[in-house]
Copies of this chain bind each other. A is one copy, B any other.
Amino acid sequence: MLTYSFSDIGSESLYEHLYGCIKNDILSGKLRPGIKLPSKRTFAKNLGISTITVENAYALLVSEGYAYSIPKKGYFVSDVNISIPEAINAGEEVTQEYFADFASNNTLHELFPFTTWARIMRSVLSERQPELMQKSPGGGIAQLRSAISEHLYQYRGMRVQPSQIIIGSGTEYLYGLIIQLLGHEKIFAVEEPGYSKIAKVYEANEVEIRYVPLDENGINVAALKDSGADILHISPSHHFPTGIVTPISRRYELLGWAAERETRYIIEDDYDSEFRLGGRPIPPLRSIDVSDKVIYMNTFTKSLASTIRISYMVLPRTLAELFYKKLAFYSCTVSNFEQYTLMEFINGGHFGNHINRLRRYYREERDELLKAIENNPVLRGADIFEKDSGLHFLMRLDCGKPDDELIRDAHRLGINISCLSQYYHNNEKAPGGVVVINYSGIDKEKIPEAVRLLGLLNTN
């Protein structure tokens, strides 16, 4: 029989005290789910209190979900644990550790200039206290938007007004704002294959999507026209995972498509244009758009560090006006503390330096990786696609294994890979045996061994 002391109850009432004692035992696991609680009368007698006190305590336990009653049977302890998939309990993803992870597109955090960032944060904390206590305007603080406008001009040749720039905590959040801006009834076209999170955001918002196939120059314009979509969401400077860079001629075709109807817009997701490693940069769609049809997006999460949740979009003039009419009531989702820090980081030239350093590092890494592949007896001569752009390329293996087997074998060898087919919505149309080699998260020293393991993968 349960027993509790009533000697130290302080100002609590008797029933509150009893309720608290039982609840603690339930939460600590001492009283397990399904256990029957003592009958009210017996319990009261044993504890030397009235039956009504026990009744009140039980009623409170039931109302708060700690216990349940079955008529004529009595009171029982509830199961207070939620059945959430264990892997994501409390949001902690269980990630397997691989010797080399070619499937992750995280960048090496050792390359982030943490010391500089921390120094700027400290100076913002000590020197900008009054500004920090102000609320950021909906689109972001003016000085950060000016800094981004200047950066876009210097690095991407784009001239946009700070008021066209809207800051948000991540591109996924900004996709949501775009849906609100353009309307849920619009049909959105996404790339097939493509980055699946984009389609997921549209699906979560119950927006109709069409998967439009790519050809060697990016989105196939005939298929786009057939799709009936109003809004095209693409990453023309560097498509993930194929790495295709849409040439200028196709860009003009796409702009032509958008210009045909007033309701059409293009979302240009320029998320890793900073990492183009070779060849002449192609101007963003936004910079050659004279019809006010392109929403340009980019993020600092990718180019700086995943701890930084700051992205932005550049709205065409008409949509910027609509934004201020319709959505300016929203508070900015980035704290102005982080906005000021990023502003100083850009204006102090640190962002430009960081990008240059990353680009040098990854160019060397790619070169070493390609050399190691060329020197590997099994991989030598494998088809490699789009090695100039971004932080990944495609490699075709000729072992003839189906993709799911390739991935399983890779895990067995201690490496992680993804295959091109996984990025298809309809993967019956996907070519098999093409591995996406994401090298942005691979330590340089690991390259020789990682390539040896990739070679083992390509054998039967």
Contacts and interface: CB of A to CB of B under 8 A. Distances in A.
Contact of A335 (B66, B90, B309, B327): B309
Contacts of A327: 204
Contacts of A138: 91
A62 B184 contact: no
B85 A324 contact: yes
Among A88, A133, A164, A289, chain B packs the most CB atoms within 10 A around the CB of A133
Interface stretch (A118-126, A225-233, A236-244, A430-438): A118-126
Given A90-B145, A122-B125, A163-B89, A290 B335 contact: no
A197 interface: yes
A207 to B, nearest CB: 9
B134 A307 contact: yes
Interface string A120-153: 0110011001001111111111100110000000
B83 A321 contact: yes
Given A317-B82, A321-B82, A321-B84, A197 B329 contact: yes
Nearest to A318: B82
Contact of A118 (B65, B126, B145): B126
Interface stretch (A4-12, A170-178, A264-272, A413-421): A170-178
Which interface residue of A169, A288, A327 has the most chain B CB atoms within 10 A?
A: A169
Interface in A289-318: 289-290, 301, 305-309, 317
A91 to B, nearest CB: 3
Interface residues of A, number: 89
Nearest to A171: B331
Given A334-B309, A335-B309, A180 B205 contact: yes
A333 B169 contact: yes
A445 interface: no
A64 interface: yes
A273 interface: no
Contacts of A140: 91
A290 B59 CA distance: 11
A320 interface: yes
Q: In the complex this chain forms, how many copies of it are found? A: 2
A114 interface: yes
Interface in A167-191: 169-170, 172-173, 176, 180, 183-184
Contact of A134 (B63, B172, B306, B324): B306
A333 B175 CA distance: 13
B172 A305 contact: no
B307 A135 contact: yes
Interface string A99-120: 0000000100100101000100
B142 A129 contact: no
Contacts of A90: 137, 139, 142, 145-146, 161-163
Nearest to A158: B64
A260 interface: no
Contact of A288 (B63, B80, B109, B125): B63
Interface string A319-363: 011001011111111111110000000000000000000000000
Interface of A: 23, 27, 62-66, 68, 80-85, 88-93, 106, 109, 112, 114, 118, 121-122, 125-126, 129, 132-142, 145-146, 159, 161-164, 169-170, 172-173, 176, 180, 183-184, 197, 200-201, 204-206, 287-290, 301, 305-309, 317, 320-321, 324, 326-338
Given A64-B287, A90-B146, A337-B338, 16 more contacts: A82-B161, A82-B317, A82-B320, A84-B321, A88-B163, A88-B324, A90-B137, A91-B141, A93-B137, A114-B133, A134-B306, A172-B331, A173-B333, A183-B206, A184-B206, A308-B335
26 contacts: A27-B159, A64-B287, A65-B289, A82-B161, A82-B163, A82-B164, A90-B137, A90-B146, A90-B161, A91-B145, A112-B133, A114-B129, A121-B125, A122-B122, A135-B306, A135-B307, A169-B333, A169-B335, A173-B333, A176-B176, A180-B204, A183-B206, A204-B327, A307-B337, A309-B335, A338-B338
